[in-house]
A = this chain, B = another copy of it.
Amino acid sequence: MAATLKDVAKLANVSIITVSRVVNQSSYVHKATRARVLAAIEELQYVPNQTASNLRSRQNDTLALIVPDITTTFWTAMARGAEDEAWASGYGVFLCNTDDDPVKEARYVDIVTRRRVAGIAIVPTLGSAELLRRLLRRRQQFVMLHRKIVDIDADTIRSDSRRAARELTARLLDAGWRRCAYVGGSLGGSLGHDRLAGFTEALAARGLVPEAQLVKIGEHTQRSGYALTTQLLRDKPLPEALLIANSRLALGALHALAAAGVRVPEDLAVATFFELSRLVDDSRLAWTPLTIATLPAYDIGRLGIRRLIARIGGDTGPLEDRTLAARITAHPDEGAKPLLPLSQALVPA
């Protein structure tokens, strides 16, 4: 078995509290004593038992991060932001993937609650209201990331996808297009609708109204993006512009456009939410003339954990519901050196 304080104490001929003091530097220890203790620690390869320490001190320096799926770039970036911030503050992160399944979410919340983590940063599923209410009752510190559940009084860090959708749409309109289409997904919740709302608002600001047959709602998948866009292209005349609500839909939609021989932006201008940019250094997308909104996933993670740690540290300020702006990148019209379209490398002779 691993050495304990007691073993070290015996070898160094001191009491265990003295060893504890050396280990934690929690109080002065005579230089000579300290040296003996350190020698004993070295000899026994002593490593403190954090479990015991946590139990006794009622402290815990691990946080739980509960996200739908780290395999999705958006959540990956958020997770990394969370981990970086936690690391900087001396906390570790316990990772949980829910796959947006409320059952998995509930089990994970139970697991981390048993472990008495200091705090939980959670991207709630749509069925978590009761779960979160129970956390509130237990006074378990937590912060909601990216999604807010109504009537749950906890800090929330999210991004303003509604505004981003409004701005993307406004850019399409500024470019002179009028008949704008929308391809989005629905979780059954408010998320996709935020974006549709932004789309509608931008149109309304110009006295326009979305045409029903130009608004396509499906799932948040690439397959759905392909299908919805294909539907969209069946009716003539084609829309002049298209807003796509997320990365996966966008990949499918671009594929569908390619398959149909629709040129971007000559035949159809495209604006989209896209989260892969951090991953690919923007370059693949930089080749394509799209206007892109990137949500600040990394910052949501970072600032969410920062808020959580502040609460753990005793911050009792008013609840925060913070909304971060999206970054909008226009290609190729914003001073970046013009990039050749991928096409030039790929067109068959």
Contact = CB atoms under 8 A, between A and B. Distances in A.
A127 interface: no
Contacts of A262: 345
Given A79-B70, A94-B95, A255-B283, A49 B346 contact: no
B54 A51 contact: yes
Contacts of A54: 51
Interface string A263-289: 110100000000010111101100111
Interface string A25-55: 0000000000000000000010111111011
A60 B51 contact: yes
A290 to B, nearest CB: 10
Contacts of A115: 50-51, 62, 92
Contact of A283 (B55, B87, B252): B252
A110 interface: yes
Contact of A346 (B80, B255, B264): B264
A12 interface: no
Contacts of A50: 114-116
A346 B343 contact: yes
A341 interface: yes
Contact size class for A? 35 or more
- Pick from A49, A70, A137 the residue with the most CB of B within 10 Å: A70
A69 interface: yes
A70 B76 CA distance: 7
A77 interface: yes
A93 interface: yes
Nearest to A254: B345
Given A69-B80, A349-B263, A93 B95 contact: yes
Nearest to A116: B51
Given A47-B110, A264-B346, A348-B266, A94 B62 contact: yes
Interface in A80-138: 80, 83-84, 87, 92-97, 110-116, 134, 137-138
Given A77-B71, A281-B251, A93 B94 contact: yes
B344 A258 contact: yes
Contacts of A141: none
A264 B76 contact: no
A335 interface: no
B343 A342 contact: yes
Interface of A: 2, 45, 47-52, 54-55, 60, 62, 65, 69-73, 76-77, 79-80, 83-84, 87, 92-97, 110-116, 134, 137-138, 222-223, 248, 251-252, 254-255, 257-259, 261-264, 266, 276, 278-281, 283-284, 287-289, 339-349
Given A50-B116, A263-B344, 16 more contacts: A71-B76, A71-B278, A72-B279, A80-B97, A251-B281, A258-B340, A258-B342, A258-B345, A259-B339, A261-B344, A263-B346, A276-B280, A288-B342, A341-B348, A342-B346, A343-B343
16 contacts: A45-B138, A47-B110, A50-B115, A73-B279, A80-B97, A83-B95, A83-B97, A222-B283, A255-B283, A255-B287, A262-B345, A276-B280, A341-B346, A343-B344, A343-B347, A347-B347
Of all A-B residue pairs in the complex, the 10 with the closest CB atoms, nearest first, are: A343-B343, A258-B345, A50-B114, A95-B95, A343-B347, A343-B346, A341-B346, A50-B115, A258-B340, A71-B80
